[in-house]
A and B are shown apart, each in its own frame.
Chain A
Amino acid sequence: MNWQSALDPHSANARHLADLFWFFTALCAAIWLLVVAALLRAIRHPGLAGEQDPPERQLRKSRIVGALTALTVLILVVFTAASFYTTRSFAWPDMNTLRIKVTGQQWWWQVEYRNHDASQVLTTANEIHIPVGRPVTLELHATDVIHSFWVPDLMGKQDLIPGRTNYLTLQADHAGVYRGQCAEFCGLEHARMAIWVFAQEPSAFEAWRRHALMPNTMPDGGAAAKGAYIFVHRQCASCHAINGSDAAGQTGPDLTHFGARATIAAGTLHNTAANLDRWLADPQAVKPGANMPKVDLSAPDRAALVAFLEGLK
């Protein structure tokens, strides 16, 4: 897994941004060194106080100042042009690619694969799977406050604004898992609002997509079946949907194939049975303020829910 870093680009766009960064840094560093050198020289060879320069020396001095001012303006123009041309190409989304709607909400991400054919629409949360080597267009929405989508290895950031759609094109050169993060302060749990991009070879991506589209089969015995019953008949189903069950809540993350996810609650915990038990015992102790309430559940009921949810592969 790659730890997120804008200086470790894994796509053409991220590389352009990193190049831009190094260009700025190198030029500014060179200018800084020259200024410091000039300063040191001035300290070493101070002019005499009150001494009047001869006219030809004064003329040379003002020429130097004039030339340096012009050079500063030129450098600023070059910087402006470089950032304009680098980021301009990002602004035009390609609408003929795979389109994924990403909705930011306090404090998790809903991910919906768009398709004209309703049977191919796929909803998941906190994870985006994409095929490598192909541009993917993200449609960015928000339901409550402004969030910002940022997967530094793959692309610069883009805001998600309530009532408005922004676009971002994502492309990964190599298969891998790239971490992303909400990059606009959005309230209490902003720091625990991560997202993962899984870039896969096209065939692996297609296999994942086919599988993810299928409803989960409901367990027909044991603890998992009890868990399924509790899930549908207790509070869980008011907020969560599971394709294949009667749970159809729309306000929390869709939990279809939840057992296959890497993390719980937008990167807050690794998805293990022990952690899921902790999450269900009291989400507010794990992620205080999160919009999932503490539901009073006995330990056996919790174990049944864990068996059920972890079995949703």
Chain B
Amino acid sequence: MSSAWARFALLAALLLAGCEREKRVYSGQPATNPAGELYQENAYDVAQGKRLYTWMNCTGCHAHGGGGIGPALMDNRWIYGGKIQQIYRSIRDGRKNGMPAWKNRLTDQQIWQLAAYVRSMGRYVRKDVAPSRDDALNSGKAESRRERSAPLEPGR
């Protein structure tokens, strides 16, 4: 194959990868995503999670990730685990000492989107997937511009 063709193929692959970046599934969970892993690969889902984070007033306890009444969400310390499935379970079922269960208040898809967004706060998602803008004025760095936190550390 000539190098011109190789370049063309590379460009096409890059552009197509862009389509996947924010592919939207509006209702329900895609069948190809049984373990929820893919939510954190999708810019649209992460952005929806970011909106829900404010809508459901998560800031009330966790601030913008720095924590307050509840633990910080942007560092590498996770009491109940920092994998997306573990975060999903913390949101869905709640945890003792005050974290409420959201399973009757949000849909399953929304809980996955929130979990994916929480992963983006310490930038445990790809840079091109993490949100780069805020609806409100915000003096902090956008998620996409943050350094990735240290590798996940189990336990306190």
CA distance A144 to B47 in the complex (A): 12
Q: Given A163-B137, A235-B105 in contact, is the A251-B28 Cβ separation under 8 Å? A: no
Q: Once the chains bind, are B27 and A285 in contact (CB under 8 Å)?
A: yes
B135 and A235: CB pair below 8 A? no
Contact B106 A235, beta carbon cutoff 8 Å: yes
A residues whose Cβ falls under 8 Å from a Cβ of B? 143-145, 162-163, 233-235, 237-239, 251, 282-285, 288-289, 291, 293-296
* CB closest residue in chain B, given A233: B104
With the chains together, A239 CA to B51 CA distance in Å? 13
Given contacts A233-B104, A282-B27, A294-B28, 6 further A-B contacts (CB under 8 A): A162-B135, A163-B136, A234-B104, A235-B104, A288-B26, A293-B109
**Interface of chain B residues 120 through 156 with chain A (CB within 8 A):** 135-137
Interface residues of chain A: helix, strand, loop or mixed (majority): loop
User: Is A144's CB under 8 angstroms from B135's CB?
Assistant: yes
Interchain CB contact under 8 A, A284 and B27 = yes
The answer to whether B135 touches A143 (Cβ under 8 A) is yes
Decide yes or no whether B24 CB sits under 8 A from chain A.
Answer: yes
Instruction: Indicate if B86 sits at the interface (CB-CB under 8 A).
Output: no
Interface residues of B in 25-42 (CB under 8 A from A): 26-28
Q: Is B8 an interface residue (CB 8 A)?
A: no
Asked whether B56 lies within 8 Å of A238 as measured between CB atoms, the reply is: yes
A238 and B135 within 8 A (CB): no
How many interface residues does B have (CB within 8 Å)? 16
Q: Say whether B51 contacts A294, CB under 8 Å.
A: no
Contact at A239–B28, with CB atoms within 8 Å? no
Residue of chain B at shortest CB distance from A282: B27
Give the distance to chain A from B92, nearest Cβ to Cβ, in Å: 13
Q: Contact between B27 and A293 (Cβ–Cβ < 8 Å)?
A: yes
Check if B76 is an interface residue, CB within 8 A of chain A. no
A239 to B55 CA separation, bound complex (whole angstroms)? 8
Is B110 part of the contact surface with A, judged by Cβ < 8 Å?
yes
Nearest B residue to A289 via CB reads B26
**Per-position contact with A for B89-102: 1 when CB-CB < 8 Å, else 0?**
00000000000000
Q: A144–B26 Cα gap in the complex (Å)? A: 19
A24 to B104 Cα, complex, angstroms:
59
Report the bound CA distance from A289 to B136 in whole Å: 21
CB-defined A-B contacts under 8 Å, sample of 15: A144-B135, A162-B136, A235-B104, A235-B105, A235-B106, A238-B105, A238-B106, A282-B27, A284-B27, A288-B26, A289-B24, A294-B26, A294-B27, A294-B28, A295-B107
Asked, given contacts A163-B137, A238-B56, A291-B51, whether A284 binds B26 with beta carbons under 8 Å apart, the answer is yes
Query: Which residues of A have CB within 8 Å of B107?
Result: 235, 293-296
Chain B residues contacting A143 (CB-CB under 8 Å) are 135
A237 vs B56: C-alpha distance when bound (angstroms)? 11
User: Cβ of B109: which chain A residues have Cβ within 8 Å of it?
Assistant: 293-294
CB distance from A29 to the nearest CB of B (A): 45
Residues of A within 8 A of B136 (CB): 162-163
A218 → chain B, closest Cβ, in Å? 20
Shortest distance between the CB of B55 and any CB in chain A (Å): 4
For B106, the chain A residues whose CB sits under 8 A away are 235, 238, 293
CB of A36, distance to nearest CB on chain B (Å): 48
Neighbouring A residues of B27 by C-beta, 8 Å = 282-285, 293-294
The residues of B that contact A284 with a CB separation of less than 8 Å are 26-27
How many Å from the CB of A247 to the closest CB on chain B?
Answer: 11
Contacts of B105 in A (CB 8 A): 235, 237-238
Rounded to whole angstroms, the CA-CA distance of A254 and B88 in the bound complex is 29
Residue of B27, B55, B56, B109 most packed against chain A (CB within 10 A): B27
Please report the C-alpha to C-alpha distance between residue A294 and residue B135 in the assembled complex, in whole angstroms: 24
Q: How far is the CB of A286 from chain B (nearest CB, A)?
A: 11
Q: B57 to nearest A CB, angstroms?
A: 9
Interchain nearest-CB distance for B86 vs A (Å): 23
Task: Give the chain A neighbours of B51 by CB distance below 8 A.
Answer: 291
A282 to B24, CA, bound (A): 16
Residues of A within 8 A of B56 (CB): 238
Complex CA gap A233/B105 in Å reads 8
